[in-house]
Amino acid sequence: MAEGRWTKRLSKSALIFGIAAPVVAMVGVTLARYDFIGKLPGFSAILAGALISVVAILAAAIALVLIIKNGGSKKTALTGLLVSLVYIGFLGSRAAAGGDAPAIHDITTDLVNPPQFSVLSLRSDNLAGVDTIENWRTIHRKGYPDLQSVRIGRAVPQIIADAEKIATDLGWEIAAADPEKGHLEATASVSYIRFKDDVVLRVVATEEGAASVVDMRSVSRIGVSDLGVNAKRVRLFLNRLANDFN
């Protein structure tokens, strides 16, 4: 009888913890999305959910062993196990989406002279994880050798105007747009939790004046690694800027 009671308790615990894991994560990220709590505490709720799922999996595994040995219904334990595995699998898929992205969060097309922010502020700990600018440049070159300045056959003011259209279409918050100076700054929100990444665009006319050279920089406000998000943003934005208005 005692074994039966423990089996039922473990099965019920597996189900409760299995359901609690995504609930805890969703509550945390939703609070962070609307800035009731910080972004990192909100993200930590996802990790807390993972730990809760591990507890659920262990409880379900023990319960199933006891059920196989002593008999009984497997439904509750299996449901808790399935919910937990789905949650853990989801987290794994999100981590895998970053692939082998380097552990940096400041991405640019010009490593020698990156575009500078004038309205938005570059984070005070921008060298977190790399320590020195040279280390950042080395990691950046190895991780994103394809990111280079882009030459576009349009005048500087027109490119900034086009860039502002694209940024607005993407839902970015425009912080500054100066067509004559060839400068644009904006903030992009990432994922459901709305992590903030700051973007700056620099456009310079070529010597003959028939075209312009465009450089872009995208920087995450928090964290060390961006899982490749900033590089993807730079590629997609510059591709649209070069091709959408031909």
pLDDT digits (tens, 9 = 90+) for 120-165: 999 999 999 999 999 999 999 999 999 999 999 999 999 999 999 9
With a cut of 90, say whether residue 237 has pLDDT above it. yes
Query: Tokens 């950046």 appear where?
Result: 140
What's the rounded Cα separation, in Å, for the pair 1 and 98? 50
Angle at 171 between CA 167 and CA 173, to 5 degrees: 75
| pTM (2 d.p.) | 0.84
The CATH topology of domain 106-243 is: TATA-Binding Protein (3.30.310)
Tokens at residue 140, please? 């950046």
For the segment 155-207, what is each residue's pLDDT rounded down to a tens digit?
999 999 999 999 999 999 999 999 999 999 999 998 888 999 999 999 999 97
